[in-house]
Amino acid sequence: MASIIQDCSSLPNGHIPDYPKEPGSLKDALNAALVEGFECKARYIHTPPKTCDALFSPLPGQESERTHLASHFLTVSVHPVRTAGSPIATNDYLNNHKHGVLGIGIEILVYTTKHLTTVFVSKADTTGYIPNLPPSRTKAVCSASLKWLVKKERSKHPSRKLVISLFARAQDQYLFPGSVDHISKHVLTDRQLIKWWAKVLDSTFLTGTGHGDASQKQGYLTVPGFTGSELRQFYPSGNITIDGREHWLPGHPLRELAETRGISSAAPPRCLLPRFPDDPKARYIIDLDEEVGLTFTDDAPTDSPVKRRNGQWSVIKDLERFWEAMEFRQECSSGRMVGFLWLVISPLNPMGGAAGDDAAVEESQESSSLGAFSNDPASQRRDDTPTPSGQRNPLKRKRKVLTGPIIPRKPRLKGGSSSHTGSSGTLDGMINPTASGEGLILSKDGYDRAMSLLLKGSDFSKLEPAARTTSRWVADVASIAGIQGDWALDIRGEAKVELTRAGEASGQVHDLGASMVRKKKRKTEDDVVDDARTMEQRIEDDAPVIPEHRREANAIAVNVLGTSTVRKKTKPVPL
């Protein structure tokens, strides 16, 4: 941190930016975001950062960039009697149900490299059991969890650029099987979903942020098949600020992110595009790689060594051509559309030396979370002190032969967390996660198993099956973590609702007094005569004015029949 303060002297007027501090717990963030009086249970599972496959393809002849992945999954549930569309008379099982019914779920994946942190919103879904009342509970949960996680990552690496990425594609259900059959679930269209996510990111990060935040934020939107002017229909209102700057721009920041990663913006497009799971553009990248033999699989022979050496595709030579070709993909055509959104958060004073320190911290966090380090100072000295060849370390002793009775140990389930048990001799942090508000830490295998159990064998079509599915999943995750009981966080909303309509802001009804009420006066006969005269006068006033000579000419031109020309009808003579 000393290097950060020293480098801040180069800023104008010696201003030291206010770097993001360590945020509070997730429980506090949800309490502050949800409306006052709303009670629910939040369940949060996540994994420690662990080495994974590279997010970007490496340049030809170079190794892949070392990447760490941390998975986060948050659910929100409500009591069955408070769900939307619940029957008036419920059975004893629903009345005594303690786990609630899952209503909202969001999965976020965090990829960290030496120079860049990528926060990818993988999935977000609802079941329809949470009442759809303003303000939106779904928007509050997604916004609060995303903002809390971004603050947490920025507090670890204040000098590192961070990008939030997601793709908006409407589906009937993502996380909760059978929820599409629930009558209260509202499924958005592609166009509505793109606008919804743009509003969430805009209200969370771009508008209403504090002036002390030492960062620059910029949003980008790309929808294959739409030009820059056509994309403005998806932007939130108030896109242009007072100083003329736009919060959202058409296009993408991929070239900017490439320079942040230390790669030229003129590199092959496959090295500039990220490969997220279940991503439409990632599937297209795999198809393009297989065409030129850039993937080493049994089904795709390496038939183009030249293209493997230069890392180029056959037809797609730049990013502009890639997005044009995406327009004709099945997921982006035939009346469907996919919106790709980015929000780049750049520090105002990035330091070059801090990136290496952040990478070292990342590795130490991964090792400590997996129980690789010991808290014994002697063991640290033994690891740090090199031992010359041919000499034995005097502190190193032979392993003592174990003797005596064998004490049986309780078996540990595969997928359980070792960070809590290794750092402390108690399981209080795991049995009662509400004390810290951080949820459960699982291994990668345990996390994948928990997600698989939610997607398989679940039924959210009706209230009682949804409640039983929730209880089963809560018990399964507790078994994976090796704990007992419920591990939910009790959430109580604290946000005040601002009423903007007149009369609601003060909470009073404005009645007009008797002195202010004027009755309509009944018309008399004189009033009717006056009205008739007034009407005649209006007709005369509105009539066209005819000159005098025109009046005389009209009078002369009138033909008057004489009495001799008038024939009277003869009466019939009676017989």
What are the backbone dihedrals phi and psi of residue 489, each rounded to the nearest 5 degrees, phi first?
A: -100, 125
Q: Exposed/middle/buried for 146, CB within 10 Å: 0-12, 13-18, 19+?
A: buried
Taking the mean position of all CA atoms in its chain, how far away is CA 355? Answer: 27
Which residue did the predictor score with more confidence, 55 or 84? 55
Q: Exposed/middle/buried for 106, CB within 10 Å: 0-12, 13-18, 19+?
A: buried
Place of tokens 């060594």: 305
Portion of the chain with pLDDT greater than 90, in percent: 46
Residue 279 is a catalytic residue: yes
Cα 134 to Cα 55, 140, 143, 206, 554, distances in angstroms? 38, 11, 15, 22, 74
Amino acid at 256: E
Over residues 196-222, mean pLDDT: 82
The string of pLDDT tens digits covering residues 42-60 is 999 999 999 999 999 998 8
Cross-strand pairs, 167: 340
For 441, the 3-state DSSP assignment is strand
pLDDT at 430 over 50: no
Cα 267 from Cα 263, distance rounded (Å): 7
Over residues 204-228, mean pLDDT: 81
pTM over 0.75: no
The string of pLDDT tens digits covering residues 289-304 is 888 887 643 344 444 5
Taking the mean position of all CA atoms in its chain, how far away is CA 454? Answer: 21
The pLDDT value recorded for residue 28 is 93
Q: Exposed/middle/buried for 471, CB within 10 Å: 0-12, 13-18, 19+?
A: middle
DSSP 346-393: EESS--HHHHHHHHHHHHHHHHHHTT-S-S-HHHHHHHHS---TT---
Pairing of strands 101-112, 116-126: antiparallel
pLDDT at 350 over 80: no
Amino acid at 191: R
Indicate the domain borders of the chain: 39-261+345-365+445-492
Catalytic residue among 125, 190, 202, 279: 279
